[in-house]
Each structure stands twice: as structure tokens, then as C-alpha cells.
Structure 1
Amino acid sequence: MTKVIPQQQTTAAYAAQAAISFALALGAMVVGVAYLPVDAWVRAFLAVGLLYVVTATFTLAKVVRDRQEEGQVTSRVDQARLDKLLAEHDPFKVEGI
């Protein structure tokens, strides 16, 4: 039997904290790259690298979320099948009579 894990909902405060934290970290990196005392091509290289890391992070987060949701759907389908079998099963039914 599969164990059904209740889905936890994130609070608005947690979502806001995550968004603010991301914005501050990204802003600090952008300012750091912009004011780095190096040539423009080095700054551009670092900016493109930062952009790549940010987009790769969003992609990875989406993949992890999709896999988790897929696992939950599979778990719910398995649970529904088990519930149906248990509902249809009559332990007092005698076969062949």
C-alpha cells in the first residue's frame, strides 16, 4: 500500500520571503558585476554567466516540481485503485455457492 503524504501549502509570507531573497541576491550580483573593476568584455562574460545560472535554476526548479507532481498523481491513482479493490471486496462472500 502506498503512503499518501498530505501536500503542504506554502504561506504567502514564505513565498514573499523567497521572492525578496531571490531579488536581493540577483540585484547584489548585478551590482557586483556592473561595478567590478575589469574590462567590459569580462563584465559581459560574467553577466551572461549570471543570466545562464538564473535560467538554469528556474529550469531545474520546474523539473523538480514536475517530477514531484507526477509522483503525486501516480500515488493518487494507485490509492484510488486500492480503495476500489477494498470497497469491492467482501470477506464474508463464499465463492461457488
Structure 2
Amino acid sequence: MKKFDTPTPVHTSAWIVQTWASFLISLSATTIGIWYLPVDQWVKGYLGMGLLFSIGSTISLSKTTRDIHEAGRLLSKVDEAKLERLLAEYDPFKK
């Protein structure tokens, strides 16, 4: 039976640095913007909590999306293996 391996995508170090840098810059800019906003402290606290909840839900959403994608890849590999087994066992001249 032939085994097909799909290559695992590898991120470059430049992509990883750019991703972390954009995350940290956006988090810092939003935090500074909330800090210097001319409103009461409870409004700043509310906006800060909203920022933290947005970050947490974004991380959960990206993890869930990745898990769903990986589960789909696993199911397709299982289906492919079943099909290969059926084709290997099939003999059109056998009656």
C-alpha cells in the first residue's frame, strides 16, 4: 500500500516575527489610546476589559478554526486510506 504524506506548512521566522510584532503594536496602541482617552476611570476600565475579552475570544476562535481544519484533514486521510485499501483488494477478474 502506498503512503501519501502531505507536507506540513512551516512558517518562516520572518512571518512569526511580523505576526508577533503586529499583535504587540496593535495591543500597545489600543492600550495607550484607552489610557489617554479623556473619560472617567470606569469607562477606561470597561474599554480595557473589552480589549482583553476581544483578545481572548480571538485566540479561542483561531484555535477552534485550526482544530476544525486539522480534524477535516485527518478524516480525509482516513477516507483516502479506506479507498486505497478497497482499490488494492479489488480484483476485476475474480468472480
TM-score bucket of the superposed structures, by smaller chain? 0.7 to 0.9
Equivalent in the alignment of 2:21 = 20
Which amino acid in the other structure matches residue 38 of structure 1?
V
Map 1:1-97; keep pairs closer than 5 Å.
7-91=8-92, 93-95=93-95
Q: Identify the structure with bigger relative contact order (alpha carbons < 8 Å, sequence gap 6+).
A: 1
Q: Structure 1 length as normaliser, TM-score? A: 0.84
How many residue pairs were aligned? 91
Unmatched tracts of structure 2, length 5 or more: 1-5
Q: Structure 2 length as normaliser, TM-score? A: 0.85
Aligned counterparts of 2:21 and 2:65: Cα–Cα separation in 1: 22
Q: What is the aligned-residue identity percentage?
A: 42
- Select between 11-20 and 25-34 the one with higher mean Cα deviation: 11-20
C-alpha displacement of 1:58: 0.5
Aligned counterparts of 1:7 and 1:69: Cα–Cα separation in 2: 11
C-alpha displacement of 1:84: 1.1
The Cα RMSD (Å) is: 1.8
C-alpha displacement of 1:89: 1.8
Which amino acid in the other structure matches residue 83 of structure 1?
E
